[in-house]
Structure 1
Amino acid sequence: MIAPQQTESIKDLVENIHKENILLPEFQRDFVWELSKTCELFDSLVRDIFIGSIIYGKPSFEITVREIDTRPRKGEGSRRKLATKFFNKEDIQRMTQINNFRIILDGQQRVTSIYRALTGVDEVWFIAKNEEELETSVREKALRERTLEEMLFEFSLQEDEDRLSIKLSDAFLISKGDILDDDIKENYFGKLSCIAGMDEEELKLAFRKYRMICVKLGELFKSDKLLSYYLLNMDTEKFALFFERSNSKGIQLNFIDILAAKLYKGFNLRQKIEELESSFPNYYFNREIIVRAISYIVSNGKEVDRNYILSNLNYEHFNMYWDEVCDCYRKVLDFLFKERFIISQKWMPYENMLIPLIIFLRSIHKSDFSQMNENQYEFIKYWYWSSIFAQRYSSGSNEAIIQDASILSNIAQNKKISDKAFFSRLKIQITSPEDILSFSKKGNVIYKGILNLINFASKGLIDWSNSSQLHLNSKLEDHHIFPKEYIKNKFKDNEQILSLIDCVANRTLIPKITNIKIGKKSPSRYLKELMKINPNIVESLKNHLIPTEIIDGAYDDFYIAFLEKRAEAIFKLVEKYIIAKEQKIVDLFYQPPKTKGNIKIFASYYNKKVEAIFDIETQQVHYNGEVLSVSAAADKAKYNLSGKDNTSTNGWRFWKYINEQNQERYIDDFRK
Structure 2
Amino acid sequence: MKNVEKAEKVHLGSLIDQLKKGHYIIPDFQRDFEWEPWDVLSLVRSIFMDYYIGTLLLWKGSKENYEILSCEPIYGFEGSNDPQHIILDGQQRLTAIYYAFFNPGKPFPRRKNPIVYFLNINKLLNEEYEEAFFYDTSSKKYTNILQNKEEQYKHHLFPLSEMKEGTWGTGDWIKGYRDYWTNQLENVDAENELKRDQYAVYVKNAREFKDIIEELFNQYFISYIELDRDIDIAKVCDIFTQINSKGVKLDIFDLLNAILRPKEIYLKQMWKQAEEELQFTKPKKMKIYILQVMSILEQYYCSAKYLYYMVPGATKTIKKPDRTKDEIVLIPDEETFKQKWSRSVDAIKKTITILKNPREYGAINPYFVPYPSIIPAFAAIKAFVEESDGKNKLDMQAKIRKWYWASIFTNRYSSSVESISAKDFQDLKKWFNNEDDKPEVIKEFFSTYKNIDLLNDNPKGSAIYNAIFNLFIINGARDWSTFELPEYESLDDHHIVPASVFKDENVPTINRILNRTPLSPTTNRHIINNRMPNEYLKEMFDNNDNEKVYDVLASHLISKKAVSILLRKPFTKSDLDDFLRERQNTIINAIENQLIKEKINVPISLKELDNEIESIENSLRSFIVNSFEDSHKAYQKNTPGHIQEKVEKRIESEKRKNPHLSDNDFNLFSKRIMYFDLFEYYDIMASKLNWPHFEPYFKNKNQLQTRFKQLSTLRNAIRHSREVSPIERHDGEAAIAWFKGILK
SS of 1:253's equivalent in the other structure is coil
Aligned residue among 417, 420, 431 for 2:448: 431
- Whether the 8 Å CA contact 1:31–1:69 is kept in 2: the answer is yes
Residue by residue over 1:134-169, the C-alpha shift from the partner in whole angstroms, topping out at 9 and shown as x without a partner, is: 6xxxxxxxxxxxxxxxx8565643599999554423
**1:15 has 2:36 as partner:** no
Q: Show the counterpart of 1:620.
A: none
Do residues 213 (structure 1) and 203 (structure 2) align? no
| Greater shift in the superposed pair: 167-176 or 314-323 | 167-176
- Looking at structure 1, the residues matched to 517 and 7 of structure 2 have their Cα atoms a distance apart, in angstroms, of 46
CA contact (8 A) 1:174 1:214 kept: no
Residue 103 of structure 1, CA deviation? 4.9
For the 8 Å contact 2:56–2:223, the answer to whether it is kept is: yes
Q: Does structure 1 residue 328 correspond to structure 2 residue 347? A: yes
RMSD (Å), alpha carbons: 6.4
What do the CA deviations read for 1:283-326 (whole angstroms, capped 9, x no partner)? Answer: 666233333444555x4879993242121433211443444443
Deviation at 1:561, TM superposition (A): 10
- Alignment partner of 2:33: what SS? coil
The one-letter code sitting in structure 2 at the alignment partner of 1:11 is I
Aligned-pair CA distance for 1:417: 1.6
| Counterparts of 1:238 and 1:560, CA distance in 2 | 53
Alpha-carbon distance between aligned partners in 2 of 1:14 and 1:438, rounded to the nearest angstrom: 42
Amino acid of the structure 1 residue aligned with 2:273: E
| 1:52 partner letter | T
Alignment of 1:417 with 2:433, yes or no, is yes
Q: Report which stretch shifted further, 299-308 or 101-110.
A: 299-308
Query: What is the letter of the counterpart of residue 252 of structure 2?
Result: F
Change (3 A) 1:391 1:61: closer
What residue identity is the alignment partner of 2:198?
E
Cα distance in 2 between the residues matched to 1:128 and 1:220: 15
- Mark the CA change 1:164 to 1:457 in structure 2 (over 3 Å): closer, same or farther: farther
Partner of 1:49: 52
- 2:34 counterpart letter in structure 1: V
- Partner secondary structure for residue 99 of structure 1: coil
Task: State whether structure 2 residue 298 is matched by structure 1 residue 306.
Answer: no
Could you tell me whether the CA contact under 8 Å between 2:260 and 2:266 is conserved in 1? Answer: yes
SS of 1:31's equivalent in the other structure is coil
Q: Unaligned regions of 5+ residues in structure 1, if any?
A: 72-94, 135-150, 190-196, 492-496, 518-524, 582-586, 594-672
Q: Which has the higher helix share?
A: 2
Shift of 1:335: 0.8
User: Is residue 353 of structure 2 the alignment partner of residue 337 of structure 1?
Assistant: no
Q: Map of 1:181-196 to 2, 5 A cutoff? A: none
- Give the Å deviation of 1:224: 9.3
Aligned length: 506
Answer whether contact 1:60 1:234 (CA < 8 A) is retained. Answer: no
The answer (yes or no) to whether the contact 2:166–2:217 under 8 Å persists in 1 is no
- Are the counterparts in 2 of residues 6 and 229 from structure 1 also a CA contact under 8 Å? yes
Amino acid at match of 2:448: T
Q: Give the residue type in structure 1 aligned to 2:160.
A: L
Amino acid in structure 2 at the alignment position of 1:168: L
Note closer, same or farther for the CA distance 1:6–1:295 as it changes in structure 2 (3 Å cut). Answer: closer
1:257 aligned partner: 254
Q: State the Cα distance separating 1:465 from its structure 2 match.
A: 12
Give 1:382 shift.
1.0
Shift of 1:10: 4.0
Correspondence 1:351 to 2:372: no
**Higher RCO, 1 vs 2 (CA within 8 Å, ≥6 residues apart):** 1
> Percent same amino acid at aligned positions?
18
**SS of residue paired to 2:444:** coil
Which residue of structure 2 aligns with residue 32 of structure 1? 34
Deviates more, 1:51-60 or 1:171-180: 171-180
**TM alignment of 1:546-565, pairs within 5 A:** none
Amino acid paired to 1:291: L
Match of 2:691 in 1: none
Paired with 2:427 and 2:274, the residues of 1 have a C-alpha distance of 29
Q: Deviations over 1:421-457 (max 9, x none)?
A: 453464427737667589979999xx52453245235
**Cα distance, 1:103–1:592 mapped onto 2, change above 3 Å:** farther
Q: 1:200 to 1:52 in 2, by over 3 A?
A: same
- Counterpart of 1:597 in structure 2 is none
Displacement of 1:334 in angstroms is 0.8
What secondary structure does 1:228 align onto?
strand
Work out the CA distance in 2 between the residues paired with 1:14 and 1:463. 60
CA distance in 2, matches of 1:37, 1:294: 24
Q: Residues 343 and 592 from structure 1, CA distance in 2 versus in 1: closer, same or farther, beyond 3 angstroms?
A: same
The aligned counterpart of 1:649 is: none
Measured against aligned partners, the alpha-carbon deviations of 1:28-72 in whole angstroms (never above 9, x if no partner) come to 43433233432332233331414221445663655556675569x
- Distance, in Å, in 2 between the alignment partners of 1:555 and 1:155 is 55
Give the TM-score normalised by the residue count of structure 1: 0.54
CA distance in 1, matches of 2:402, 2:475: 18
- Checking the alignment, whether the CA contact within 8 Å between 1:295 and 1:309 is kept in structure 2 is yes
What is the rounded CA distance, in whole Å, between the counterparts of 1:207 and 1:502 in structure 2? 62
- Distance (Å, rounded) in 1 between the aligned partners of 2:647 and 2:222: 47
- Cα 1:279/1:426, change in 2 over 3 Å: closer
2:94 corresponds in structure 1 to 111
2:119 match: secondary structure: strand
Structure 1 position 122 matched with structure 2 position 105: no
* Per-residue deviation, residues 546-596 of structure 1 (Å, max 9, x unmatched): 988799898859999999888777765665567778xxxxx9999869xxx
> Bigger radius of gyration, 1 or 2?
2
Aligned-partner residue type, residue 332 of structure 1: T
Question: What pairs up with 1:236-635 in 2 under 5 angstroms?
Answer: 237-238=234-235, 241-242=238-239, 244-264=241-261, 267-279=265-277, 282=280, 286-295=286-295, 299=298, 305-310=306-311, 311=314, 312-313=330-331, 314-338=333-357, 339-340=360-361, 342=363, 344-345=365-366, 347-349=369-371, 350-360=374-384, 362-363=386-387, 375-389=395-409, 401=421, 405=425, 417-418=433-434, 420-424=436-440, 426-428=442-444, 431=448, 436=453, 448-449=463-464, 451-456=466-471, 459=474, 543=556
Q: Relative to structure 1, is the Cα distance of residues 199 and 551 closer, same or farther in structure 2, using a 3 angstrom cutoff? A: farther
Cα distance in 2 for residues equivalent to 1:70 and 1:253: 33
**Alpha carbons of 1:505 and 1:454: their partners in 2 closer, same or farther (altered >3 Å)?**
closer
Separation (CA, whole Å) in 1 of partners of 2:459 and 2:579: 20
Helix, strand or coil at the partner of 2:40 = helix
Q: What corresponds to 2:195 in structure 1?
A: 199
| Structure 2 portions without partners, runs of 5+ | 106-113, 137-141, 143-151, 182-191, 315-329, 541-549, 599-643, 651-744
Contact 1:555–1:562 (8 Å) recurs in 2? no
CA distance in 1, matches of 2:255, 2:84: 44
3-state SS, counterpart of residue 51 of structure 1 = coil
Question: Could you state the TM-score of these two structures normalised by the residue count of structure 2?
Answer: 0.50
SS in 2 for 1:332: helix
Preserved CA contact (<8 Å) 1:437 1:504: yes
